Amino acid sequence: MPLVPIDSLTTSSEIITGLSAAQASISPKYFYDAAGSALFEQITQLPEYYLTRTERAIMATHADTLALRIAPGATVIEAGAGSCEKARTLCATIRPHCFVGVDIAADFLQRAVAGLRREFPSLDVRSVVADLMDEIVLPVDLPPGRRLVFYPGSSIGNFAPDAALGLLRRMRRLTEADGALLIGVDLVKSKAILEAAYDDAAGVTAAFNLNVLRHVNRLLTADFDVAHWRHRSFFNEEQSRIEMHLEARCATRVSWPTGCRSFHRAERIHTENSYKYRVADFAELLRRAGFARQVCWTDAQQWFAVFLAEP
């Protein structure tokens, strides 16, 4: 099964368009080949990467309330399910009847859902390989009952606010009339803490960022020389987002079967944005997406928020 399940012509043309633009870019969805998915799991363990442990602690603190509000027997749909690590804890807490993992990284997702099936033998576990940028098409034979869309890890931050609103509206449609959305959102905080989280001392985030070039080499039959590039990340206060870039260490050139692009020394390829929200601003985005009722839980330092939102 391909690691990126979009047809290869669409993939190639999207990557070439990004590389050929005056400000070159590569979509962050191409981070997640097998090596990228494994590197992301390492990032979640880093001391600087407060996001995963803070979100986990918030969910643990409010597990009883969550279990009361989402009765047993629901269908959980996790967007960007990755390793399904957070799904494990959620399923133990709310005891759903069915779990649907949705992710673009096909192989990694199949392995993760297989692990979930072993751990919860009575859980009906499904997987959907899809790009969240498109309408999410669920299996037609999902059991009836309440749906909980789960989107942890502040992955919503990878989308610019307009695109985030579009994705939240698609999620709202998935919840049908009586479902809910459980979503993790990283909050604005000191620049030093934010920047350390995306440029760790051990260099794992740098390796994750650089690995996208290897994935693009395979997808496009291109010839990026990874040694010619370095990881750069910083907090753009005006846009309230961490930006990740790859910066050319020297003048360099990349070729693919139908074209090429030269980069001068210090020229950058923009690889990721990670928007940081204020609680009130994200609550407003949820309201505009059709989630009128919301509960918001944060940690004591107000570093991270988990919203439970209902139509």
For 307, the token pair is: 């919203």
Closest separation between CB of residue 182 and ligand SAM, Å?
Answer: 12
Nearer to ligand SAM by Cβ, of 103 and 186: the residue is 103
Interior CA angle at 241 toward 132 and 101, to 5°?
25
Residue at shortest CB range from ligand SAM: 153
Closest separation between CB of residue 206 and ligand SAM, Å?
Answer: 16
Nearer to ligand SAM by Cβ, of 131 and 310: the residue is 131
- Helices (DSSP H) in the chain: which residue ranges? 8-20, 34-43, 50-61, 63-69, 85-94, 106-119, 161-174, 191-197, 204-220, 279-288
Closest separation between CB of residue 60 and ligand SAM, Å?
Answer: 15
Nearest to 89 by CA among 194, 156, 184: 184
- End-to-end CA gap in the chain: 36
Closest separation between CB of residue 307 and ligand SAM, Å?
Answer: 15
Nearer to ligand SAM by Cβ, of 26 and 81: the residue is 81
**Chain positions contacting ligand SAM, by CB under 6 A:** 29, 32, 37, 40, 44, 80-82, 86, 103-105, 131-133, 152-153, 155
Nearer to ligand SAM by Cβ, of 84 and 248: the residue is 84
Nearer to ligand SAM by Cβ, of 133 and 285: the residue is 133
Chain centroid to Cα 10, Å, comes to 21
Closest separation between CB of residue 46 and ligand SAM, Å?
Answer: 13
Nearer to ligand SAM by Cβ, of 63 and 133: the residue is 133
Closest separation between CB of residue 205 and ligand SAM, Å?
Answer: 12
Closest separation between CB of residue 151 and ligand SAM, Å?
Answer: 8
Nearer to ligand SAM by Cβ, of 105 and 286: the residue is 105
DSSP 8-state symbol, 277 = B
Give the separation between CA 124 and CA 121, rounded to whole angstroms. 8
Buried b (16+ CB within 10 A) or exposed e, 137-168: eeeeeeeeebbbbbbbbbbbbbbebeebeebb
Give the separation between CA 109 and CA 102, rounded to whole angstroms. 8
For 165, the token pair is: 């609103």
